[in-house]
Structure 1
């Protein structure tokens, strides 16, 4: 057989193999029943839909799920397809379509597990669409079905946000009347009573409190409701004996709440170069305190000192807070250098301190009263290097960073990880903080021809550097730190920051209900979107306030309570404090695409 014939036959065989590999229709054995074969086809369609869903091709995933639902009415994957299609529509902000899809799921498969989950997703969809009454109604329906489930915590937090911040008095009354058997009706009644009393409608408040105290003697709100009723009685002449309950029945744990306002200290830069970070932390903290005071009726005195990001000024501030203000806990400072100084003083006086944003790796080693929410610089640098080498396949890197100690630590952690993988740092460029002209560094980087450049920068630095990279025709992939995740980078960096990849711990488009609620409340309160710094400040004070609500009102009691924190659902993600005092945090990778932050999937 000649070589030409052999070549032709080989190409025919190869085409046949390729055709068989790319076919999406399963081969059907002659003895396979119709139902089994149809299920195999449905599985293939579902797998394709799920792949598109996971890779964030949501509109294509919706079309796949619709195809499965329409073409395979008996498939086992149909209920899950309804749910995932509704979730995809929700994530694309197609709220009416999502609600229709999920309601169809509940009607068609009322006992299916995905129908139960759909109730919560519908609640979240109504919340995002600003229909707060319906959001609360579906949250209540979900909680009536689910008690011991991780999703139940999400539902409780969503409902709490709604009843304290969004629902009107009339809507609360309507819910309490409609859901007479609801597991959370005692919460509705208590909040409703407080709202009536704040409006000086004492007779209505009294009616609601009697309902709560008579029908929910084991409620967590019983003691608070009884106290409120007593206050109304004193002011309005009502007799507490109307509540048919004896003191012998009142063997409930009552937290020892403070007789006067508790003072919490905040040290952060409110003036100077880093004021933007301090102001963001302060905004998140004030929002959390406002909500806490409204919900718990406990007054918090936030005593704020401007550190100017200066360790000496911060040292004076912490001594004032401890000695003159008698604070029970301290938040901040924001920058690492002042935090190291302040933490030593707080530890010496046994005052718990949570720094929301500092990243220096030595902070948590100062002592057991010191806690940190932010991931260390080492963690962030390592995560970025892991992705750049293992997923992107780069080996030649440039470094561009300032003389700020945090930036130096990020650069060194990234460099060390790259070298561990056998990669190379072909150009190591540093600049003095405040530099605006990077011509010298750009020329050195261009000459070295790196595949990617790691730039741990502040937002202000990022929007100056990115255009200069383009001006000098440097086409290397931009890799960054969390500073690139600020909204100002998109607004001011324009097309020059497109496709930059960076590490972050808070993603403003997260699907987390707590994160979503925080973003919505923050924007309603201040008129602009929060960044990750505001979210960390919000979480830091909420961790302390949750301890206070449990009756921990001394510095030592708060420290012990914080040390027990496990899987706390915060606006910046789940928080667990390790024995070191560092929070166990997940670092996510984001990129910028057409003016939006988008999560990077491996």
Structure 2
């Protein structure tokens, strides 16, 4: 066992005390080395010539504290100066220095507002440029790089040297790259190039970065947004070429050709021109053999399902699937609109994006037609609507309509009545609903513009079957009295814009009230077998219009009717004939018109004149509405015959 003498124990105590003293000294706080804001990389001298003499002593004292390393005292002294609301240059300098001190004290979020004040009141002094640089570094440190972008764009319109802006935009772009915000990086690099850097090597390096990001980092949506942003300016050519390549890789050759044609038409001397020509040739070969899709949007269920399914039969017939001798490079992709506008819009997107449709056909009902047409135009895909809705073709130059319109019917009917029959005085008996009122106004206007007169107009309820009251008013017979008066018939023709059933009900009632020798005028709704059911004498001489007359001797019509009956075992009507011609026109443009892309087809349709179909000659004179010469039909000897 170890034994210590008294002297030894005293020596141990002194050794322990000495060891403790060493430990205390060694554990004392070691001063942290702060950034030297007076002589380091970010050091900027005080603009002494601009500082008013009254503020020099206080600022010198603050600078002395910093020189001695007492940053906290220096901060307090600068803040004391700022509390006195000094002149602008002193205020900016004081905040710049306070911001630097706070950065050195590792208090970045407190420092940022000081630098932001300096930037907001920038005057072009040297320390202000360093304030901007310090703010950029702070924003990166605080992980708010978007503020750098805003700062850079804002300073473009301030008193800041272009060379500094170049450095600022480049730093912001590099930060965006670091954060993998590729679209933002391209935008910032292009902003930097817009400041016209003097260093050619720097310009070349930035272009390489931009073009590499476009080629390897951006998706189609980002590329489209940048293309919209840059227009035809750099780097739009590279974006167009890349979009063409992406579409080619995806198998969307029509879209790829559209992009590459735009590229070749706008950038003759582009470095990628040879590559573009090679891609264009390759696309042309693939498109020549490609099966192209026409999308059909029809109400196959819901309230208009009967119309939609009948029209689909006609469209299928037009596509050639029943003709074994005919090789077609067109396929149909069909979607049910369900008479729902939202469903019609989704169908457009589905057909364009998933089926790569080069054209769309339909819908029928007004609201769905407008919704589908608006979306199709936005997607730059031609759509041939089959609706009476007015104004649908005004949505854009990708929107067309092949249908019989209210205006077209009234114009043809009045023109024939005035110029061929010599009628000048008219009456109108119309249903009191939106359609009836519209037709009444259109008829009145058409008559007036041709020098005629509408002597009387009477509405009736939709479910009405007795029209005595309305007829008496038209011929000035007193309503409600049971006596024999002589009617005053001051019109030679009466227009009834309603169904064949209503025409059959009204005709004998006109005769009963001695309205004799007056020609009845109607719309395409009269061109049905129902018109001639029962007694037809009262309808003799009635005139109406339509786009299709099934008893026509025209070869196109007889051939169509034979094919339709052979395929579906029933006779076709006018609405099916319109759908057949609409589909045939689109297919003609794709197969024989050389339209490989949606924009090609749009242009071909806009130039189409006198297409001979089962509904007669069709042209699109420039507004997207089909211009058709309607057939003038009449009841003669109990039969419907074609007058013109």
TM-score (norm: length of structure 2): 0.48
Decide which of 539, 543, 547 is 2:589's aligned counterpart: 547
Alignment of 1:102-501 (within 5 A): 256-257=287-288, 262-268=293-299, 271-272=302-303, 277-291=307-321, 294=324, 295-298=326-329, 300-308=331-339, 314-315=344-345, 317-318=347-348, 321-322=351-352, 327-356=357-386, 358-402=387-431, 405-431=434-460, 433=462, 438=467, 440-447=469-476, 449=489, 450-466=491-507, 468-470=509-511, 474-475=515-516, 476-491=518-533, 494-501=536-543
Cα separation, partners in 2 of 1:339 and 1:406, compared to 1, 3 Å: farther
Q: Is the 8 A contact 1:334 1:355 kept in 2?
A: yes
Match of 1:538 in 2: 580
Cα separation, partners in 2 of 1:305 and 1:430, compared to 1, 3 Å: farther
1:503 partner SS: strand
Q: Deviations over 1:168-202 (max 9, x none)?
A: xxxxxxxxxxxxxxxxxxxxxxxxxxxxxxxxxxx
Cα separation, partners in 2 of 1:483 and 1:403, compared to 1, 3 Å: same
Alpha-carbon separation, structure 1, partners of 2:497 and 2:419: 20
Cα separation, partners in 2 of 1:437 and 1:581, compared to 1, 3 Å: same
Q: Is the 8 A contact 2:549 2:574 kept in 1?
A: yes
Q: Is the 8 A contact 1:401 1:431 kept in 2?
A: yes
Alpha-carbon separation, structure 1, partners of 2:414 and 2:559: 33
Q: Is the 8 A contact 2:376 2:383 kept in 1?
A: yes
Q: Deviations over 1:500-526 (max 9, x none)?
A: 101222222333211221122122223
Q: CA deviation at 1:479?
A: 0.4
Report the RMSD for the aligned CA atoms in angstroms: 3.4
Cα separation, partners in 2 of 1:438 and 1:560, compared to 1, 3 Å: same
Gapped runs of 5+ residues in structure 1? 1-252
Q: Is the 8 A contact 2:634 2:641 kept in 1?
A: yes
Which moves more between the two structures, 462-471 or 526-535? 462-471
Match of 1:231 in 2: none
Q: CA deviation at 1:276?
A: 5.2
Q: CA deviation at 1:474?
A: 3.9
Alpha-carbon separation, structure 2, partners of 1:367 and 1:436: 43
Alignment of 1:8-19 (within 5 A): none
Q: Deviations over 1:90-144 (max 9, x none)?
A: xxxxxxxxxxxxxxxxxxxxxxxxxxxxxxxxxxxxxxxxxxxxxxxxxxxxxxx
Decide which of 557, 564, 570 is 1:515's aligned counterpart: 557
Alpha-carbon separation, structure 1, partners of 2:466 and 2:374: 38
Alpha-carbon separation, structure 1, partners of 2:370 and 2:514: 41
Q: Deviations over 1:363-395 (max 9, x none)?
A: 322211111223543232122222223333333
User: Aligned pair 1:565/2:565, yes or no?
Assistant: no
Q: Is the 8 A contact 2:467 2:509 kept in 1?
A: yes
Cα separation, partners in 2 of 1:271 and 1:453, compared to 1, 3 Å: farther
Match of 2:11 in 1: none
Cα separation, partners in 2 of 1:567 and 1:382, compared to 1, 3 Å: closer
TM-score (norm: length of structure 1): 0.51
Match of 2:636 in 1: 593
Cα separation, partners in 2 of 1:410 and 1:446, compared to 1, 3 Å: same
Q: Is the 8 A contact 1:381 1:414 kept in 2?
A: yes
Decide which of 517, 524, 539 is 2:566's aligned counterpart: 524
1:508 partner SS: coil
1:334 partner SS: coil
Name the larger-Rg structure.
2
User: Aligned pair 1:506/2:536, yes or no?
Assistant: no
2:446 partner SS: helix
Q: Deviations over 1:240-268 (max 9, x none)?
A: xxxxxxxxxxxxx9782565672512224
Gapped runs of 5+ residues in structure 2? 1-283, 477-487
Q: CA deviation at 1:528?
A: 3.1
Q: CA deviation at 1:314?
A: 4.6
2:458 partner SS: strand
Q: Which has the higher contact order (CA 8 A, sep 6+)?
A: 1
